[in-house]
Structure 1
Amino acid sequence: MYKPEILKIIHYKLSEKIDHLEYLIAETRAANNETKSSMGDKYETSREMVQQEINNLQIQLNENIRLRNSLKSISVNPHQNVGLGSLVETDKGLFYIAVSLGMIDYEKKKIFLISPESPLAQAMNGKTESEVFSMNGTQQKIVKIW
């Protein structure tokens, strides 16, 4: 497995999410400005709801920027033990421990992108190849770590 390429895919996905959130914030602000100028004080509640939406989008944006920045600390060097930046193959699937972004297809394989804080990553943390761990009553064996 080529971990630098997978890391680029993750960076790209996060950048896409950030760009989309920035677009949504700009569009919502523009809509809020139009509401302010044309509706008057009678629609204060509506304006407050729009402002809350902007705040929610800003929180999501900040979190995605934080996640993208956290990628800088991930080593692409091979790992002996499972931890942040590990690509782990178990008998149940492939997992890249970096950020939680769902699943990607890479070289016709499905790789699940999981956060180091996730229960699955915590169950694997510190394990080496051939070790077995249990998650929700199901045992998995670590086949390979990159």
Structure 2
Amino acid sequence: MNKSEILQIIQDKLSAKIDNLERLIAETRASNNETKSSMGDKFETSREMVQQEINTLQIQLNENRNSRNSLKTINTNLHQTIGLGSLVQTEKGFFYIAVSLGKIISNENKIFVISMESPLGKALSGKKMGDEILLNNMKQTVKTVW
């Protein structure tokens, strides 16, 4: 498994999400400006709802930017002990510990990108090949750590 390649896929996916959120914010702001100029004060409630949507999108944008920035600290060298930047295989699948992003595909392998703060990330932290974890009454064995 090439961890540098996986990290690039994660960065690309986050960049695409950031670009999409920036576009949505710009479009929503444009619609809010049109509402202000053409509808008058009696539609103040709808303008406020649009502003709340912009605020929600801005929060998501900031979270994704923070996630992308945190990827810069990841070491892609091989790991003996599971931590940030580890690629882990259990009988349940492959897990890359970086940021909360969900499933990606690399070389036809499904890899779940999880954060250290996730329940599974916390359970795996500090474990080594051959160690077992118990999460949600399901036992998993660490088969490989990259």
Is the TM value for this pair above 0.5? yes
Deviation, 1:101, is 1.0
Give me the whole-angstrom Cα distance separating, in 2, the residues matched to 1:91 and 1:45: 52
The corresponding residue for 1:17 is 17
SS of 2:112's partner is strand
Give me the whole-angstrom Cα distance separating, in 2, the residues matched to 1:137 and 1:120: 12
Deviation, 1:83, is 0.6
Matched, 1:95 2:95: yes
SS of 1:97's partner is strand
Deviation, 1:72, is 0.2
The corresponding residue for 1:136 is 136
SS of 1:11's partner is helix
The AA in structure 1 aligned to 2:18 is: I
Percent identical: 65
SS of 1:128's partner is coil
The corresponding residue for 1:120 is 120
Deviation, 1:34, is 0.3
Residue by residue, what CA displacement relative to the aligned partner does 1:74-101 show, whole Å, maximum 9, x if unpaired? 0001101011100000111100000111
The AA in structure 2 aligned to 1:145 is: V
Give structure 2 stretches of 5+ with no counterpart.
none
The AA in structure 2 aligned to 1:83 is: G
SS of 2:142's partner is strand
Length, aligned pairs only: 146
Runs of 4+ in 1 over 3 A off after TM superposition: none
Give structure 1 stretches of 5+ with no counterpart.
none
The corresponding residue for 2:53 is 53
Residue by residue, what CA displacement relative to the aligned partner does 1:81-137 show, whole Å, maximum 9, x if unpaired? 011100000111100000111111111111001011000011111000011111111
The corresponding residue for 1:6 is 6
The AA in structure 2 aligned to 1:82 is: I
Matched, 1:84 2:84: yes
Residue by residue, what CA displacement relative to the aligned partner does 1:27-58 show, whole Å, maximum 9, x if unpaired? 00000000000001010000000000000000
Q: Give the superposed CA RMSD.
A: 0.5
Give me the whole-angstrom Cα distance separating, in 2, the residues matched to 1:34 and 1:91: 54
